[in-house]
Structure 1
Amino acid sequence: MATTNGLPTLKIAFEAAAAAVVSRTKKGVAAVMVRDENAQGVYSISSTLFIPSGLGEANKAHIRTAFQGSDRGEPSQVVLVVIATGTSDTTALEAGLKLLEAYSIDYLAGPPDVTEDELDVLNTWVLAQREQYNTVKLVRPYLTAGSDEMGIIELDETGLANKDGPVTAAAYCARLAGIFAGVPVSMSATNVSMSELTAVTPRTMLEQQTAINNGKLIFVHDGLQAYIARAVNSLTTIPDKGNEDWSKIKIVEGMDLIRYYLRNTIRQSYMGRYANTYDNKQLLVAAIQDYFQYLESAGVLNPGQSYAQVDYDRQLEWINTQGVSTTNMSRQEVLEYQTGSWVFIRCGGRLVDAQEDFEVVFNTL
């Protein structure tokens, strides 16, 4: 007889996970790296008041930009990584990233004077973290070739300026990390304004469109304020089983949050707690379906398109690897076959995009 011990706990855990995704409003975490001779280490700070006093004034000002956010929200925390000075090699940066592995972050910006070699290290580190289902995305300057990764956002701006003078793209990435971390999962960063900028890279409308299509994050200036033209990441090569909207920062943020909470909830509330029977697999399926329905009702996932089920194809493949003939097995027999410690679940849904493109027709009477 199937056990149902712990079912309420599992259901509550998934409800909490769904609520965590929905309540992502103004609760993201940005990570910022700086070089300084003093106060080296990692600091999780919730306010500019807690910026280490021993840092240089330029570094303090740089860190404050990550807290600014936008009219759509501010980050809940900034994880500050202070590394040793010097850029002759990547040793200091690598040491800082090692320390950062103990923290859960959403967006990362390297030092304002980041080198090309360090950008390569940052790319590699972020992609490795994402392979482990961590939610970190890198915000970096665009150089000569795009990264073509949905976890890497590349700012292509060479004409930035504020009231104090020119601003490099690398130095502005901390500001962007804070903006992205503060945007709710129900919104996008497209058209977020940055009033402190007095100039951006001049582009024609065609050049703007081309840059965006090539996975570059760019700004536009309407004569009054600068705006993010379109909140895109560097992905331009869409995977065979992927969608074009994976190139949007909002969509990837939603995907990351759902995967993160889904994985962690299973690990914390299911793994090792249940006998691996078909009925208990269906218990997990039902809990995931409830999780998705909550997200659908909250406008995170598109209604009616979410699903969860025991993965028939993976079950069949696993049985065959055990040397068992499946020729005469019915579909239900395959689904109910005892699979050792393995649980194969297939699930998915479609994230709801933000309103970014409009067509309004005005007819005169």
Structure 2
Amino acid sequence: MATTNGLPTLKIAFEKAAEAVVSRNKKGIVAVMVRDAEEQGLYTINSAVLIPEGLGEANKLHIRSAFEGSDRGDPSQVVVAVIAPGTENTEALEAGLKLLESCSIDYLAGPPDVTEEELEVLNQWVLAQRELYRTVKLVRPFQTTGSDNMGIIELDETGLANKDGPITAAAYCARLAGILAGIPMSMSATNVAMQELTAVTQRSLSQQVEAINNGKLIFVHDGLQAKIARAVNSLTTIPLDGKEDWSKIKIVEGMDLIRYFLRNTIEQNYLGRYPNTYDNKQLLVTAIQDYFYYLESAGVLNPGESFAEVDYDRQLAWINAQGVSTTDMSRQQVLEYQTGSWVFLRCGGRLVDAMEDFEVLFNNL
């Protein structure tokens, strides 16, 4: 007889995972890298007052900017990687990234004086982490060619300034990463205001549209304040199995968090714990579907479109690969076939976007 002992624990685990996706209680973490002769190492801090005292004043201000967030929310934590000074090679940066591998982070900003060679190292590190289903996304300055990846956000600004003078895009990435980390799942960073900026790169409307379509995150100034024009990542080549909205930071953030919590919850509460029977597979399917229902009710996923089920096609292919004829098997027999240690599931849903584009018709009666 199939065991059902683990169902309550699994259900509770998925409920907690869903709540974490919605509220970002366990996410919203930004990592910032700085160079300093003192205090080298890794620091996880949840308040600007805890910034290491021994750091230089410029580095303290840089880290403090990551805490600022926006009127839509603040990051829950800032992870600071203090690396050795010097840009003659990438060894110090690589050592800092090695430290960051022990952390769960959502957005990463390199040093304010990051070099082109270091940017390539950062790109490759982030892509490797994402291959491992981690949620980190890189916020970096745009150089000469776009990264064309949903996990890399490129700030293309050469005219930034505040009351103290010009600011480079590289130096502003920590501030931007903190903004993105603080945005709730129900909102996007589009139109977020940055009150401290007095100037942004001057572009015509057509140049703004062209930059955004080329995967560049840019700012606009409406005469009152500077704002994020459209919260996009650098993805411009949509995969054959992809969607155009994968170029939006909000959508990718939702995809990342759901995949992260789904994978972790299964690994921590299900993997290796139960016999691989059809009944236990269905328990897992039910728990995942309930998880999606919660996200639907919270406005993260579109209601009525989420699903989870045993994957008939992959299960059929696995059986055939074992040399077993499936010619006379019914669909249900295929679904109930014992598949060793393998569990083949398929699930999905439609992430809800934020209101960003409006068309209002006014009739003058």
What range describes the TM-score normalised by the shorter chain of this pair? over 0.9
C-alpha contact (below 8 Å) 2:20/2:26 kept by paired residues: no
Structure 1, residues 20-76: CA drift from partner, whole Å, max 9, x if none?
A: 111127950000000000000000001111100110011011111000000000001
Distance in 1 (CA, whole Å) between partners of 2:198 and 2:314 is 55
- What does the per-residue CA deviation read over 1:210-235, in whole Å, with 9 as the maximum and x for residues that have no partner? 10001000000011110000000000
Provide the TM-score with structure 2 as the length reference. Answer: 0.99
After alignment, is 20-29 or 235-244 more displaced?
20-29
CA deviation vs aligned residue, 1:244-300 (integer Å, no higher than 9, x gap)? 111000000011110011001001111111100011001100000000001001100
* RMSD over aligned Cα atoms: 1.0
Q: Alignment partner of 2:334: what SS?
A: helix
Shift of 1:115: 0.5
- Residue type of the partner of 1:175? R
Amino acid at match of 2:156: D
The 5-angstrom pairing of residues 182-201 of structure 1 reads 182-201=182-201
Q: Provide the residue aligned with 1:361 in structure 2.
A: 361
Counterparts of 1:204 and 1:57 in 2: how far apart (Å)? Answer: 37
Secondary structure of 2:185's match? coil
Q: Match for residue 288 of structure 1?
A: 288
Match of 2:268 in 1: 268
The one-letter code sitting in structure 2 at the alignment partner of 1:195 is Q
Residues in 1 aligned to 2:75 and 2:3: alpha-carbon distance in whole angstroms: 42
Equivalent-residue separation in structure 1 for 2:240 and 2:221 (angstroms) = 36
Match of 1:253 in 2: 253
Q: Shift in Å at residue 136 of structure 1? A: 0.4
**Counterpart amino acid of residue 240 in structure 1:** L
Using the TM superposition, name which of 325-334 and 222-231 deviates more. 325-334
Is contact 2:25-2:76 (8 Å) kept? no
Paired residues, number? 365
**C-alpha distance after superposition, 1:67-115 (max 9, x if no partner):** 0000000001100000001111110000000000000000000000001
Q: Tell me, which stretches of 5 or more residues in structure 2 are unaligned?
A: none
- Structure 2: how far apart are the matches of 1:340 and 1:27? 35
Q: Which amino acid aligns with 1:107?
A: Y
Q: How far apart are residue 119 of structure 1 and its match?
A: 0.5
Gaps of 5+ in 1: none
Distance 1:208 1:37 in 2: 40
Separation in 1, partners of 2:148, 2:338: 41
Counterpart position of 2:84: 84
Q: In 1, Cα distance between the equivalents of 2:90 and 2:324? A: 52
After superposition, the Cα gap between the structure-2 partners of 1:232 and 1:15, relative to the gap in structure 1 and judged at 3 Å, is same
The aligned counterpart of 2:132 is 132
CA distances 1:130-165 after superposition (whole Å, capped 9, x unpaired): 111111000000011111100000000011111111
Q: Post-superposition shift, 1:362? A: 1.4
Mapping for residues 169-180 of structure 1, pairs under 5 Å: 169-180=169-180
- Cα separation, partners in 2 of 1:324 and 1:26, compared to 1, 3 Å: closer
TM-score scaled by length of structure 1: 0.99
What secondary structure sits across from 1:154 in the alignment?
strand
In 2: Cα distance, 1:9 partner to 1:351 partner: 27
Q: Which residue of 1 aligns with 2:150?
A: 150
Match of residue 101 from structure 1: 101
Q: Deviations over 1:300-331 (max 9, x none)?
A: 00001100000111111111221222222221
**Preserved contact between residue 26 and residue 181 of structure 1 (Cα < 8 Å):** no
For residues 259 and 271 of structure 1, the distance between their equivalents in structure 2, rounded to whole angstroms, comes to 16
2:113 aligned with 1:113: yes
Runs of 4+ in structure 1 deviating by more than 4 angstroms, as ranges, are: none
Identical-residue share of aligned pairs (%)? 81
